[in-house]
Amino acid sequence: MTKVVLPELGEGIEKATVSYWYFKEGEKVNEKDDLVELTTDKATFNLPSPCSGMLSEIFFHEGDTVNVGEVLAIIEES
């Protein structure tokens, strides 16, 4: 089980908003695939999947705000 965590995005940036999930819960993902897109200020950015496996649970959905360090989703490694 691998946690997908919102990493540091720069000085003073504490949170970001989920703007797009590239996959749904239950779908297979490959390592380095674009997993989720988030937005801060006037910038969107991606989080690549940290491993290959099944996206088992999404904790923050499109429009939700996530703090740096929080777990966005769980991937069950294959």
Partner 1 sequence: MDFRVFNLGVVDFKKALQFQKEIFQEIKNNYFNSALVLCQHYPVITMGRQGSAENIRVSLGELKNRGIHLYEIERGGDVTYHGPGQLTVYPIFNLNYLKKDIHLFLRQLEGLIIDLLSDFGIKGLRHKGLTGVWIDKKKVASIGIAIRNWITFHGLSINIKKDDLDNFSLIKPCGMDIEMTSLETILGRNIEIRQIKEIFTHKFKNTFLIHR
Binding site for partner 1 (CB under 8 A): 8-13, 19-20, 34, 37, 39-46, 48
Grouping H, G, I as helix, E, B as strand and the rest as coil, residue 71 is strand
For partner 1, which is the closer residue by CB, 39 or 52? 39
Which residues touch 67 (CB under 8 Å, ≥6 apart)?
Answer: 6, 14, 15
Q: Using the minimum distance from each CB to partner 1, give the nearer residue, 17 or 56.
A: 17
Cβ proximity to partner 1, 37 vs 57, nearer residue = 37
Q: Which two tokens stand for residue 27?
A: 């779908």
